Amino acid sequence: MRVITTIEEMQNAILHAKKEGLSIGYVPTMGFLHEGHLTLMEKAREENDLVVISIFVNPLQFGPTEDLSSYPRDFGRDKELAQKQKVDYIFFPSVEEMYPRPSSVTVTVKERTNVLCGKSRPGHFDGVATVLTKLFHVVQPEKAYFGMKDAQQVAVVEGLVTDFHFPIEIIPVETVREKDGLAKSSRNVKLLTKEREQAPILYQSLLRAKEIIIEGERSPQKVISFITEMITEKTNAQIDYIEIYSYPMLKEVTELKGKFIIAMAVKFSKARLIDNIILEINEK
């Protein structure tokens, strides 16, 4: 495994790989790797000749109230984990390498951002789209891997790739879960004992919602009310949002048909957890 810190060196390595006809799978990360990231790397390893991951804490996607400096970092640990997943290259640039001067061009995302988590983080996905545009040009992968736990990000990235005609296939990878169904997250360690016992209710409520939809319920509001009641009755958590939109366009729906997402964000005392499921109902 090789660690590369400059754009020029990374591009030269990719050029050499392309000349040899090797396929490239790519996993962009901000580091502090967890099992979700490792699953993406494993999938990339299965499907490509070379696996590249990037570790870059992107300042453009942090809002004015979000502390960039406190974002967790542990490159030594990340390097060990990547090596165990048989990653070929870690692209580990500095902020100065990625943004050597004020940008004359940035990317603005106009759709799929004013709902779910994007609603409370204006400008966040502009930062994501801008840095991914740069990284996609540097790494030039055939396939890029993203976790469906952040389904809104996947939708935005798919829109970016489609609109800008990147020759990249976006591979969404299912959410990695604990045995009791709780979506794996570095935030789970912040849950108090009682909260950790209650947290699996989030996914259970989504699965129960899926059941009532399969049984024939087509009202988004009734499904949202059902989930709200279940979480309120069985946990001490505060609901941030429970929303249903078409997927991946993330538009309002008045009837549950076609492909749609049921997504939630819930706050416990020291941790805000997100989860979602995507369903497709095709009726004649």
Annotated binding site for ATP: 30-37, 147-150, 176, 184-187
**Rounded distance between C-alpha atoms, residue 65 and residue 153, angstroms:** 20
* CA dist., res. 214 & res. 105, Å (int): 46
Binding residues, as ranges, are 30-37, 61, 147-150, 153, 176, 184-187
Residue 283 and residue 257 in contact, taking contact as beta carbons nearer than 8 Å: yes
Q: Which two tokens stand for residue 2?
A: 């090789």
Annotated binding-site residues for beta-alanine read: 61
Annotated binding site for (R)-pantoate: 61, 153
Task: Assess whether 37 carries a catalytic annotation.
Answer: yes
Other residues' Cβ atoms within 10 Å of the Cβ of residue 218: 14
58 closest CA partner among 115, 147, 5, 125 = 125
- Measured between alpha carbons, how far apart are the two ends of the chain, in Å? 52
Amino acid present at 104: S
Q: Which of 37, 124, 137, 165 is catalytic?
A: 37
Beta bridge partners of 172: 146
- Report the alpha-carbon distance of residue 183 to residue 177 in Å, rounded: 4
Q: Contact at 8 Å (CB) between 144 and 158?
A: no
Strands (E), the chain: 2-4, 24-29, 50-55, 89-91, 143-147, 169-173, 238-246, 258-267, 272-281
Q: Which residues are catalytic?
A: 37
